[in-house]
Structure 1
Amino acid sequence: MTADPVKLVLATHNSHKVEELRRILGPLLKGIDLVGYDGPEPVEDGETFEENALIKARAAFTHTGLPTIADDSGICLAALGGAPGIHSARYAGTRVDADNVAHLLAELTRAGADAPADRRAEFCCAAAFVTEGFEHVELGVWTGTVLSEPTGANGFGYDPVFQPDGYDVASAELTADEKNAISHRSRAFTQLLPIVRAHVS
């Protein structure tokens, strides 16, 4: 008789993110049923990606009583003092990707960041795990350069202006499988999963 899979909550209301993470982790999820979260959204008032990821995971664990994972991510540019960072999703004051990208490019122009060396960027993702009596966070970083204009139709967020190191195309020109193999989210959760397994198996 096959044992029922262990339920692991992903603290997001975005069903697409659940599916994306299932694709990223693939066979690594064997024996684990990754499910979405239907509870209240907490106030993300942390000052770092790690703090905000833990806020989400703690809230979902408190609501469901089940082991929970969560992430917080964004793009950071040295030329902008690390901005937009944790404010990436609402950098232009909206949650519209095109608005945020346009605002980022305008801020770089205002800062005089014209050369590729001035446009260095890091996509960062903090992946948090919370269960009874235990918390852990892993950070995944994906380095690259911000392009002068958007290109590509895949992905979301800042993908159309982010050119990963080692590639001559934007992240938005990569296939989902290509991106999922190398992205900041993939790196963070791949590092986190062995920790999860050690506590839910």
Structure 2
Amino acid sequence: MKRKIVIATMNNHKASEIKALIGDRYEVMTQALFSLPSVPETGKSFEENALIKAYEVAQKTDLLTLGDDSGLEVDLLGGEPGVYSARYAGIHSTDDENNKKLIKELEKYRGQRIAARFHSVIALVDPSINDPKIFHGTWEGRVTFDQKGSHGFGYDPIFYIDELGCTAAELSQRDKNIHSHRAKAMKKFCNYLTKNTQIMK
């Protein structure tokens, strides 16, 4: 019998990506199945937010829980939007509104290479023990002023990966699950599970 694991997110796109990356080693659920409200992201770092979400949902469900927080870090903006990536243009802002605000903030740097990275942090919390595990993943690229692609979400249409020659939004979900920041963090998570098989029981 597979062990159950809850993904502490209300973001369906994020949940789908994580489910695909975990594969069939767990019975994967989201917090929506338990009618749990969104957990406020009050942390000052991706790691703090991932832990806050994982602990809250693990406490409510008494199940192994994965908390995720991620976002875009732009060097010329001192790491912004960072933890405010999902609400950069306002609390209930859309992806398009966030992208437009970021482009506006970067307009004065047009013509320069705008280095950026996606940063993902996965927190694994087992409610039976107080020993959280943290996994980081980053994806280097740059911000482009030309939005391209219809796949993905968030800042994907303006995040250009030089080594792939396209934006994240131009990648298929399969390819994104190979290269992305979340894929890298989840790979570390899966490697940890392989070495610690008792967690799967």
Q: Same fold (TM over 0.5)?
A: yes
Other-structure match for 1:81: 78
Given that residues 13 and 153 in structure 2 are in contact (C-alpha distance below 8 angstroms), is that contact kept between their aligned partners in structure 1?
no
Q: 1:121 aligns with which of 99, 116, 120?
A: 116
Other-structure match for 1:154: 151
Q: Could you state the TM-score of these two structures normalised by the residue count of structure 1? A: 0.89
Matched, 1:106 2:104: yes
How does 1:10-29 map onto structure 2 within 5 Å?
Answer: 10-26=7-23, 29=24
CA 15–75 in structure 1, closer or farther in 2 if over 3 Å, else same: closer
Q: Residue 200 of structure 2 aligns to which amino acid in structure 1? A: V
Matched, 1:59 2:59: no
Q: Could you state the TM-score of these two structures normalised by the residue count of structure 2? A: 0.89
Given that residues 116 and 145 in structure 1 are in contact (C-alpha distance below 8 angstroms), is that contact kept between their aligned partners in structure 2?
no
Deviation at 1:180, TM superposition (A): 1.0
CA displacement 1:62-104 (0-9 Å, x = unmatched): 0000110010000000101110000000101133000000000
CA RMSD of aligned residues (A): 1.5
Other-structure match for 2:6: 9
Distance in 2 of aligned mates of 1:138 and 1:16: 20
Given that residues 67 and 200 in structure 1 are in contact (C-alpha distance below 8 angstroms), is that contact kept between their aligned partners in structure 2?
no
Greater shift after overlay, 127-136 or 188-197?
A: 188-197
Q: 2:30 aligns with which of 19, 26, 36?
A: 36
Distance in 1 of aligned mates of 2:153 and 2:39: 23
CA 17–148 in structure 1, closer or farther in 2 if over 3 Å, else same: closer
Deviation at 1:13, TM superposition (A): 2.9
Distance in 1 of aligned mates of 2:12 and 2:89: 25
| Secondary structure of the structure 2 residue equivalent to 1:83 | coil
| Secondary structure of the structure 2 residue equivalent to 1:178 | helix
Deviation at 1:164, TM superposition (A): 1.6
Distance in 1 of aligned mates of 2:16 and 2:48: 24
Other-structure match for 1:177: 174
Deviation at 1:144, TM superposition (A): 0.2
Given that residues 163 and 171 in structure 1 are in contact (C-alpha distance below 8 angstroms), is that contact kept between their aligned partners in structure 2?
yes
Distance in 1 of aligned mates of 2:38 and 2:171: 31
Matched, 1:70 2:64: no
CA displacement 1:95-115 (0-9 Å, x = unmatched): 300000000000001xx2223
Percent identical pairs in the alignment equals: 36
Distance in 1 of aligned mates of 2:103 and 2:86: 15
Distance in 2 of aligned mates of 1:42 and 1:157: 19
Gaps of 5+ in 2: none
